Amino acid sequence: MELDSLYQEVILDHYKRPLNKSLAANPDAQVHHVNTSCGDEVTLNLHLEGDRVSKVTWEGVGCSISQASTSVMTDLLIDKSAADALALVEEFQAMLQSKGKDSGNEDHLQDGVAFAGVSKFPARVKCALLGWMAFKDALQQALKNK
C-alpha cells in the first residue's frame, strides 16, 4: 500500500503514541467493535456532558491503520457537540468510501485527511473506519440512555 509519506508519518506517529488510549471509568456508553477481515478490535468508552463529547477513551489491538485512525478520531471529536461530532464521522466515512476521489477537508478533519489514500484500498477501508463507527454507535447509545 502506497500512501503519501507525510501521511504515513502521521499514521505511524499516532500508532506509536496513541491519544486517549486508556479506558476512563463510568462511561455513558461502552462499545466493542471488531473488524474480522483484519483482526482489529476496539473497545471505546464515551462520556457526555450535556450535549458535549467530554471524553472518548479506548483500548484496542490491530493494524497501524485501525489503531492510528482511532487515536486521530478521539483527538478530533473530544469537546465537540454531539451533532458536530456525528457530522465529522460522516464526513470521514464519505472520504473513506470515495475510492480516492475525496482527499478530505483538512480544516474539518485535521489529521484525519492522512487516511484519504486508504480509500483506494477497499480491504483497508474497514480498518480506518473501525474506531469512527464504534464512536457513532456509542454516541447513539449514550443519547438514547439520557
- CB 46, min distance to Zn ion, A: 22
Q: Does 40 bind Zn ion (CB under 5 A)?
A: yes
Secondary structure of 45-81 in HEC code, one letter for each residue: EEEEECCEEEEEEEEEECCHHHHHHHHHHHHHHCCCE
Among 127, 128, 133, 139, binds Zn ion (CB under 5 A): 127
Applying the rule CB under 5 A, the residues between 49 and 68 that interact with Zn ion are: 63, 66
Distance CA 108, CA 123 (A): 25
Distance CA 81, CA 44 (A): 18
Residue recorded with cell 466515512: 93
- CB 12, min distance to Zn ion, A: 15
Residues binding Zn ion: number (CB under 5 A): 5
x/- binding map, residues 89-118, to Zn ion, per CB under 5 A?
Answer: ------------------------------
Stretch that binds Zn ion, among 5-13, 50-58, 113-121, 122-130 (CB under 5 A): 122-130
Measured in residues, the chain has a length of 146
Among 38, 75, 91, 102, binds Zn ion (CB under 5 A): 38
* Alpha helix stretches (DSSP H) within the chain: 5-16, 64-77, 82-96, 106-109, 122-145
Q: Does 34 bind Zn ion (CB under 5 A)?
A: no
Give the β-pairing of 29-35 and 40-49.
antiparallel
- CB 125, min distance to Zn ion, A: 10
> Which positions touch Zn ion (CB under 5 A)?
38, 40, 63, 66, 127
